[in-house]
Every structure is written in C-alpha cells, then in structure tokens.
C-alpha cells in the first residue's frame, strides 16, 4: 500500500480513538476543557508519531490493537507541548488557525496542556508499563531541557552544530524516538530491536527538523501553507544559518549579524539572508546532513527481516521526511 494512503488511513483511525477517549472523559470534565481539547487536538495533523508507535509494534510482530492507545498518548503529549509552546512563544497561530493560547487564554492553555500531559502519562503507564513510561517521561524531560538550552542560547550567534542538535534532540527527536520505542516495548521487542527502533525514530526526528528549517527558507508557501522567513523574523539559529555564519568572510558575517540583531532589518532582509546562506552552501550542507542522518535512521532496520509491509513503510517514511514539500 502506498505510504500516503497508509498515513491518511491511520490518521483517521487515530482520530477515532482520540474522539472515543475524549468522549469517555467528557462525562467527568469541565465542558470548557473538553471544548479546548477538541479545538486543539483536531486540526488536521498527520499523526506521524502515533503511526510510528503502531508500525513499531507491528514490526515486532504484535497485532494487539491496544497499541493505538499508546499512539494516542504520543499525540496527546505532542499537543500538550504545543499548547505550552504557544504560551511561551506568544504565538497567534498554530497549524493555520488561531492558537489555543490566543483563543482560550493563557490559563486555559497552560491547564489544558497539563491535563493532556498527565493523561498521556497515565495511558502509557497503563498500556505500556514501566519501561515505556520511563522512555516517555525521559522524552518530556528532554523536551524541557531542549527549551532551556534554546532560551539560554537565544542571543548566541556563535552556535555550532552540536548546540543546534542539543535543542532538536530535546524539542523534537526524543519524543519521536520514544514513540517508536514504546511501540517496540509494547510489541515485545528484544533489547536490540528496541534500541534500533529508538535510533530510527531519533534520527528521523532530527532529519524532520532540518527539513523543516530548510522549508522555512526555501519552501513554496502555496504548498507549505505558511509564509517563508518565520525563523529569520525570530532570529532563530537554524542549521543553514549556523553553517553560513561559520564560513562567511568578515564582511558577510558582519552583514548577517547586523541583520540578526535588528528586528526591523530582519523583516526586510529575507532575500539578502537567503542569498548569503546559499553563497556559503548553508542550504546544501544542511540538506546533506539530513540525508546522512536518514542513513543513520535506516541502518537499524537491517535487524528486521525483509519484506514486511511495516519495514517498507518505515523506510518510505524516511524518503517522505526528506522529500516533503510541506
């Protein structure tokens, strides 16, 4: 079956399980909280994290449908971090619509995030047991740690590759790694399979983020559905920019730094910055890095026998992440 079709079908299934779960909860919860959850959870996400959980369990030979509850937990945790991120970033929009924070207010966004956080942990504890929970909590701790590194480094223009990856690991890759790992644990994986699927997920997550950062400069707004240049507006130190700053001659480096340090200039210099990054192969080498990381994602899949549709889909997801246009 084609990957895009599987993604669409599984997303529909995940949404069903989430709606049933929220429906059960709604008997006991404040109606406003339910409204926020429905608004914040169902906005057309691709549900890649739950898909990874489900595919990982199946790759280990497990057909138990209860794995969907673990998948849903990953989506809940992801949504919880988005609700809180929007508060932290004072974000107006999320996935093309008004953010939960802007629509329902700060208190509601903090609390609804806390709710989903706790609920996701309880699902993982219930369906995945202690080992899955440890992986899952580790991802949240890493997420917070990544945010702190980002806060502390926000003004640092001398960031290196490893600073970038420390943040990406925490904010994106660890949860994607955990999504795979808890699927593996649920599926009865042995130690090596479990570590392999985690490695797959962590690397897939890193590559995903690099491509995201590339699309923010190079994407086609008609396809991505969002404007280019958001990262520059926020003076975000993404990989293409880090490479360019490392390599630029004195004059070009000074030009870039002058723009980065001035909000007005940032909003009017997108073309100039893109040209400078391209001049120093920032985009090209970020792309190469993503491709190299995808190889690291694919490698551990060799431990699983050939021919299963799950393995084919996990491999296809790697190409999908590298070549996506939105």
Matching residue, tokens 């130690």: 191
Per CB under 8 A, the segment of 92-100, 121-129, 212-220, 225-233 that binds its own copies is 121-129
Give Cβ neighbours of residue 46 (< 8 Å, ≥ 6 apart): 7, 11
Q: How far is the CB of 24 from its own copies (least distance, A)?
A: 12
- Using CA of residue 193, residue 199, residue 202, residue 207, what is the dihedral sign? negative
Task: Tell me the two tokens of residue 66.
Answer: 């209860």
* Residue (110 or 235) nearer to its own copies, CB: 110
Residue 93 DSSP SS3: strand
171 DSSP assignment: I
Per CB under 8 A, the segment of 2-10, 143-151, 230-238, 263-271 that binds its own copies is 143-151
User: How far is the C-alpha of 80 from the C-alpha of 212, rounded, in Å?
Assistant: 20
Spell out where 91-160 has E strands.
Answer: 93-94, 97-98
Pick the binder of its own copies from 112, 218, 301, 321 (CB under 8 A): 112
Binding of residue 119 to its own copies (CB under 8 A): yes
* Residue (7 or 82) nearer to its own copies, CB: 82
Q: How far is the CB of 32 from its own copies (least distance, A)?
A: 5
Binding of residue 149 to its own copies (CB under 8 A): yes
Give Cβ neighbours of residue 172 (< 8 Å, ≥ 6 apart): 205, 206, 208, 209
Per CB under 8 A, the segment of 1-9, 61-69, 139-147, 216-224 that binds its own copies is 139-147
* Number of H-type helices and E-type strands within the chain: 17, 2
* Residue (111 or 312) nearer to its own copies, CB: 111
Task: Tell me the two tokens of residue 101.
Answer: 């924070």
- The contact pattern for its own copies, residues 71-90, with x = CB under 8 A and - = no contact, is ----------x--x--xx--
- Residue ranges binding its own copies (CB under 8 A): 28-30, 32-33, 81, 84, 87-88, 106-108, 110-115, 117-119, 121-122, 125-126, 129-130, 133-134, 137-138, 140-141, 143-145, 147-149, 151-152
């Amino acid at each position: 079956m084609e990957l895009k079709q599987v993604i669409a079908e599984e997303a529909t299934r995940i949404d069903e399980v989430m709606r049933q779960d929220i429906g059960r909860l709604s008997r006991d919860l404040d109606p406003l909280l339910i409204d926020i959850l429905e608004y914040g959870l169902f906005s057309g996400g691709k549900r890649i994290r739950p898909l990874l959980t489900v595919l990982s369990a199946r790759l280990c030979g497990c057909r138990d449908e209860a794995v969907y509850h673990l998948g849903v937990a990953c989506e809940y945790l992801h949504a919880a971090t988005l609700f809180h991120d929007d508060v932290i970033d004072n974000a107006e929009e999320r996935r093309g619509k008004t953010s939960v924070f802007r629509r329902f207010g700060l208190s509601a966004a903090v609390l609804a995030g806390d709710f989903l956080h706790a609920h996701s942990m309880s699902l993982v504890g219930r369906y995945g047991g202690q080992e899955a929970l440890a992986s899952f909590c580790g991802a949240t701790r890493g997420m917070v740690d990544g945010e702190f590194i980002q806060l502390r480094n926000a003004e640092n223009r001398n960031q290196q590759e490893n600073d970038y990856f420390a943040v990406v690991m925490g904010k994106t890759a660890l949860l994607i790694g955990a999504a795979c790992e808890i699927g593996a644990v649920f599926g009865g994986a042995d130690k090596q399979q479990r570590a392999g699927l985690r490695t797959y997920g962590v690397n897939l997550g890193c590559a995903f983020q690099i491509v995201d950062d590339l699309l923010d400069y190079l994407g086609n707004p008609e396809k991505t559905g969002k404007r280019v240049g958001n990262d520059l507006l926020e003076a975000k130190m993404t990989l293409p920019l880090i490479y360019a700053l490392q390599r630029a001659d004195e004059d070009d480096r000074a030009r870039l730094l002058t723009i980065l340090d001035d909000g007005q200039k940032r909003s009017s210099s997108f073309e100039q910055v893109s040209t400078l990054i391209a001049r120093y192969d920032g985009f090209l080498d970020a792309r190469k890095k993503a491709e190299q990381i995808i190889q690291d994602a694919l490698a551990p899949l060799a431990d699983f026998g050939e021919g299963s549709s799950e393995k084919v889909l996990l491999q296809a997801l790697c190409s999908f992440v590298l070549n996506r246009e939105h």
